[in-house]
Amino acid sequence: MNYARSFPLSLITLTIISIGGDLRAQSSSRVYRYSSCDCAYELPDQIRIGSKLMPIQFDDHSDEQALKSFRSLKYSVQLGIYDRLYVIGAYDAAKSTFRLDRWYTIVPFTEYLVKDESVLPHKVYKKRRTNLRRSDFKRTADFDPASPKFNPSIYQRKRQRVRQKRAASNKALQLTAR
């Protein structure tokens, strides 16, 4: 009789332990600044840890949609966001691998467009952009940016200005002082 009563409790305990394991894996994710546009000169992927650039290879356990969309960014957009590109995931220093969970860029950004590629030297003009569009991603064999499941806005975040941060913190201080 006691075994019958303890069975559901042990089942619940096992479920909580397995969920906790998944949560621990996700909580090890950190935000890193991405430093290479590999389509330009076939540079290795790199992330910045402190003041060092660390070469990485994306792990097989990376989020498939995030990795495919990240790899399909057009070069004209990559040039404009190279210093505003962040990857979220877990870095394994021993293997130099990175498990990509998500990525984002800061908007607005500048897109660099070539007016006529047949004329050398190329005339490049800048276009100020406030968001990512489906047209900013290349269609590949395993990724279609026109798919209704794909939403490019999940890969962007608005820049918070220093004044806005200060104003918000000052307002919070005033509210706590009362």
What 3 state SS string does 130-150 have? CCCCHHHECCECCECCCCCCC
38-43 long-range contacts, Cβ below 8 Å, gap at least 24?
39/75, 39/78, 40/75, 40/78, 40/79
In a domain, 106, yes or no: yes
Q: Which helix (H) or strand (E) holds 4?
A: helix 2-27
Structural domain count of the chain:
1
Give how far Cα 123 sits from Cα of 10, 117, 118, 172, Å: 68, 8, 10, 49
Structural domain of residue 62, as residue ranges?
Answer: 24-177
Is residue 89 in some structural domain?
yes
Q: Specify if 78 maps to a domain.
A: yes
Q: Is 12 contained in some domain?
A: no
Residue 138's CB is within 10 A of a number of other CB atoms, namely 13
Domain contains 15: no
Tokens of 49: 């840890």
In a domain, 64, yes or no: yes
Would you say residue 9 lies in a domain?
Answer: no
The pTM (predicted TM-score) of the whole model is 0.69
- Residue 107 in any domain: the answer is yes
Tens digit of pLDDT per residue, the chain (178 long)? 444 444 333 332 222 222 233 333 444 789 999 986 544 455 678 899 888 989 999 999 999 999 999 999 998 898 888 888 999 999 999 999 999 999 999 999 888 888 887 888 888 889 999 999 999 999 999 999 999 999 999 999 997 764 565 666 666 666 665 5
